Structure 1
Amino acid sequence: MVMMSQKSEVKNRLVKKFDGYQSFQYLTPGKDYKPFQLPQSEKYRQTEEIELRDDQERIFETLLKYYPIVSLRDHGFVVPKNQEDIIAYCRQLHTAFDYEGLALSGVDVLFENFMDGISLLTSSNGLKWDDVILTLGIRYCDIAKQDTVYIARNYHDLLEAKGSNKMAILPSLEAASILENEVDRVDVLYGLGIRCLGITYNEANTLGSGLMEKQDGGLTRFGHRVVERMNRLGMVIDISHCGDQTSLDVIEASEAPVFITHAGARAVWNSPRMKSDEVLKACAEKGGVIGVCAAPNTTLSAKNPNEHTIKSVMEHLEYLIELVGIDHVGLGPDTFFGDHVGLQHAFDDMLSLSESHGEHFEESSYVKGLENPTEATKNMIRWMIKHGYPFQDIQKIIGGNALRVLKDILD
């Protein structure tokens, strides 16, 4: 664990309101739910200290204090210490949500899908409708008991976060598989607070093809109906896990800009999980925003494939800026508290899934400099300051671009 410097202590005073609440503390462990061994303070560990000069430190503090910071994908979910516990832990509704860790992140607006546990309840047939309703309800109940985060339902709610010193959570779902073939379920999800919906996860569903499919048939007729309904309601469309043709079809079909909340550039790392130049440019030309992902073993770089660090992640950021322009790039780290890779392995093993990669690499257990939500966004900001990014460009990347598009969609 890296020891905190005096400058780090200054940084950590710039946090959100936190009242000490621990997830589900109104219940009794062992009686109301089964407790599991979870990581404690080590889950906030700082894996790389990005030192700044005093003048740069003032820029960092100014950004955190006055400018909205948006994470297009991160997770309050806490992964158990023991990998063998992960599936059993996720089979119960009462999974821990780390309010203190989110408060330390400095993020104002968080796209959170709440499905981290429920995804492990399912078979390869995908998420079940009732399970999603239960998971949303239990998480909303827990959120209602604390004073650090709140559920945002419109653009005005997002803007309130900075002034209230709280975090606005924009409820999201990773994929629309639970719609099956019922378009009115989009309205139900909207009524339950969902404001961002992915078209597919890695596999195909009734809307289109996921990025793991060998054949991408594009957006289906039902998928077109869903896109139209989401446009009417004012819901963010996410194509992070869609195949290339499905992504292009969604961008063309949507009247509103489309988000790629957490991905990277295939030109930097040749993997289906990354997006082609064609998709990236089409997204930007429609007015959309691309969030740079920092999940372990995703946004690697062919220059150094055997080490996943903030350097390789930010190589994707730099490439995207050059390709689509500064106005269409954001941050979507996609990090967890605890063993992210362990969670992914449990998920893949249970569903017999494995994302194929065009490049060979040695798996990293975490991304150095971007391991958790507490560290990730702040270090990405510090990296940009250290590398001489203009203040206005940083402001756009950390939230300005996303909020510009969200205003049009949510209102």
Structure 2
Amino acid sequence: MLEPADRYTGYTAYDYLEAGKDYRAFEYAEQIGRVPAYQGLSLTSEQLLRTSSLLAESTVISLHEHVQAFPKDMGYLRDHIRQGREPTAYRGLSRSGLTAVFDNGMDGTCCISSDAGWKYQDVLFDLGVRMADIAHQDFVIKGETLADIEHARATGRIAHIFALEAATMIENEVDRLDVLYGFGVRQMGIAYSEANTLGSGLKERGDGGLTYFGDRAVERMNKLGIAIDVSHSGDRTALEVIERSTQPVFITHAGARSVWPTNRMKPDEVIKACAERGGVIGIEAAPHTTLSRAHPRHSLESVMDHFTYCVELVGLEHVSFGPDTLFGDHVGLHDAFAANLSLGQAHGNVEYEKVPYVDGLENPAEGFFNIIGWLVEHNYSDDDIRAVVGGNTLRVLKDVWI
């Protein structure tokens, strides 16, 4: 793990307000050292130096994270979410080595006005409050363009890119996409497990594919320059989105169903279709998702089994990482919001060993150091490592963003 970034001054979320007066304060989980450091790598001193150098000197982009800090006591989770003031974990991010991060918020659990989440007004509130906080410090900047990512790289900052895991909140109003773009959203999923007006999610009994309104939404996202994600879409819907989009599409956070047979993983057909149209799959690491038969206890090794499979399937130039981690008890979050997150349907009847955290990919502060370390240990070249930790994503964004 890197030392704190020189540019980071110690700012804590909402420091410009008065805790206890302007908002309710909670005790938050540790952003560094919440769980023991990963011991699964056996790097020589030379490999350790190479890993640190690649992390520090490359353009490193996570396709999918949740960079907020969560309450230390997850019993306060709903109270914390309902006040609509998610805290960006600046201290943890300062140790991440990231150049840019697609932050997907928590809009499926954005329960300010409804336990069901995904409400348009709640999403706008969440986005606006987070942006107000980011505007009061100088380390994390709002990322909306390739120039923003380049500026972050050149000045030792992190470009924070707002993304949404589904378009559910637009309901049947395509112009809401323009509003969300105006708020800074630059990546959006089609459906989050449950079907919506655009298409089907991966949990549904049947997949009716992309709707006529979904066609209009995809066309508008292409015109606006919003990158499209099909991670949580059903298989038919995902294929039709990839076909209808005039721009490459992301699978920002998933794995291969051939490696672990759940609906949350993508079949070869979808991964290959994504790659054939120039897209990229980001390998997922949220607890109990990217397991493998070779490594059924979820860890960095399980995740990299999906990485190597996808590289063999579609080529290294179409694979990246969207670890989908956060600062806090991710398993506790899943337990608290299992219904909102459709975990039962996503896993189906596949049995797995429950772990308290994913060893080696527990939060955004440690993820890419360990990913790069694994790649170094397994003799990937510097050029290949730079491609999968950021270069492949940049290539797609050059096509998609205006």
Category of TM-score, reference length = shorter chain: over 0.9
Of all paired residues, the percent bearing the same amino acid is 48
Question: CA contact under 8 A between 1:199 and 1:208: conserved in structure 2?
Answer: yes
1:137 aligns to 2:128 (yes or no): yes
Q: Which residue number corresponds to residue 246 of structure 2? A: 255
What is the CA-CA distance between 1:45 and the residue it aligns to?
4.1
What is the CA-CA distance between 1:127 and the residue it aligns to?
1.1
What is the CA-CA distance between 1:12 and the residue it aligns to?
2.1
Q: How does 1:351-362 map to 2 (within 5 A)?
A: 354=344, 355-362=346-353
Q: Which residue number corresponds to residue 204 of structure 2? A: 213
What is the CA-CA distance between 1:195 and the residue it aligns to?
0.5
Question: CA contact under 8 A between 1:80 and 1:86: conserved in structure 2?
Answer: yes
1:99 aligns to 2:90 (yes or no): yes
1:284 aligns to 2:275 (yes or no): yes
Q: Which residue number corresponds to residue 233 of structure 1? A: 224
What is the CA-CA distance between 1:95 and the residue it aligns to?
2.5
Q: How does 1:190-339 map to 2 (within 5 A)?
A: 190-305=181-296, 307-339=297-329
Q: In structure 1, how many angstroms separate the alpha carbons of the residues matched to 2:206 and 2:392?
A: 33
> What residue identity is the alignment partner of 1:362?
E
> What residue identity is the alignment partner of 2:232?
H
- 1:209-259 CA-partner distances (Å, limit 9, x unpaired): 001001000000000000001111111000010000000000000000000
Q: Which residue number corresponds to residue 162 of structure 2? A: 171
Question: CA contact under 8 A between 2:167 and 2:191: conserved in structure 1?
Answer: yes
Q: In structure 1, how many angstroms separate the alpha carbons of the residues matched to 2:6 and 2:400?
A: 27
Q: Which residue number corresponds to residue 58 of structure 2? A: 67
SS at match of 1:169: strand
Question: CA contact under 8 A between 1:115 and 1:132: conserved in structure 2?
Answer: no
Q: In structure 2, how many angstroms separate the alpha carbons of the residues matched to 1:123 and 1:302?
A: 39
Q: Do the aligned partners of residues 277 and 358 (structure 1) sit closer, same or farther apart at CA in structure 2, a change above 3 Å counting?
A: farther
Correspondent of 2:331 among 341, 346, 351: 341
1:84 aligns to 2:66 (yes or no): no
Equivalent pairs, count: 400
- 1:60-104 CA-partner distances (Å, limit 9, x unpaired): 233123220010011221121222111111111222211010110
> What residue identity is the alignment partner of 1:35?
A
What is the CA-CA distance between 1:363 and the residue it aligns to?
1.5
Q: In structure 2, how many angstroms separate the alpha carbons of the residues matched to 1:125 and 1:135?
A: 15
SS at match of 1:105: coil
What is the CA-CA distance between 1:361 and the residue it aligns to?
0.8
Q: Which residue number corresponds to residue 16 of structure 2? A: 26
What is the CA-CA distance between 1:260 and the residue it aligns to?
0.5
What is the CA-CA distance between 1:206 and the residue it aligns to?
0.2
Q: Which residue number corresponds to residue 29 of structure 2? A: 39
Q: Do the aligned partners of residues 116 and 184 (structure 1) sit closer, same or farther apart at CA in structure 2, a change above 3 Å counting?
A: closer
Q: Do the aligned partners of residues 41 and 171 (structure 1) sit closer, same or farther apart at CA in structure 2, a change above 3 Å counting?
A: closer
Q: Which residue number corresponds to residue 52 of structure 1? A: 43
- 1:123-177 CA-partner distances (Å, limit 9, x unpaired): 5754111111111110001001112111111111112221110000111011100
Q: How does 1:101-116 map to 2 (within 5 A)?
A: 101-115=92-106
Q: Do the aligned partners of residues 223 and 117 (structure 1) sit closer, same or farther apart at CA in structure 2, a change above 3 Å counting?
A: closer
Q: In structure 1, how many angstroms separate the alpha carbons of the residues matched to 2:401 and 2:342?
A: 37
What is the CA-CA distance between 1:345 and the residue it aligns to?
1.6
TM-score, normalised by the number of residues in structure 2: 0.95
Question: CA contact under 8 A between 1:46 and 1:369: conserved in structure 2?
Answer: no
Correspondent of 1:155 among 146, 152, 159: 146
Question: CA contact under 8 A between 1:292 and 1:329: conserved in structure 2?
Answer: yes
SS at match of 2:275: helix
Q: In structure 2, how many angstroms separate the alpha carbons of the residues matched to 1:350 and 1:185?
A: 23
Q: In structure 1, how many angstroms separate the alpha carbons of the residues matched to 2:98 and 2:44?
A: 23
Q: Do the aligned partners of residues 229 and 350 (structure 1) sit closer, same or farther apart at CA in structure 2, a change above 3 Å counting?
A: closer
What is the CA-CA distance between 1:57 and the residue it aligns to?
2.4
> What residue identity is the alignment partner of 2:319?
V
What is the CA-CA distance between 1:120 and the residue it aligns to?
3.6
1:187 aligns to 2:178 (yes or no): yes
Question: CA contact under 8 A between 1:260 and 1:290: conserved in structure 2?
Answer: yes
Question: CA contact under 8 A between 1:123 and 1:351: conserved in structure 2?
Answer: no
Q: Which residue number corresponds to residue 5 of structure 1? A: none
Q: Which residue number corresponds to residue 6 of structure 1? A: none
TM-score, normalised by the number of residues in structure 1: 0.93
SS at match of 1:237: strand
1:13 aligns to 2:20 (yes or no): no
Larger mean CA deviation between 130-139 and 47-56 belongs to 47-56
Q: Do the aligned partners of residues 131 and 139 (structure 1) sit closer, same or farther apart at CA in structure 2, a change above 3 Å counting?
A: same
Q: In structure 2, how many angstroms separate the alpha carbons of the residues matched to 1:75 and 1:47?
A: 20
Any unmatched runs of 5+ in structure 1? 1-10
Question: CA contact under 8 A between 1:114 and 1:172: conserved in structure 2?
Answer: yes
What is the CA-CA distance between 1:383 and the residue it aligns to?
0.5
Q: In structure 2, how many angstroms separate the alpha carbons of the residues matched to 1:373 and 1:139?
A: 18
SS at match of 1:104: coil
Q: Which residue number corresponds to residue 7 of structure 1? A: none
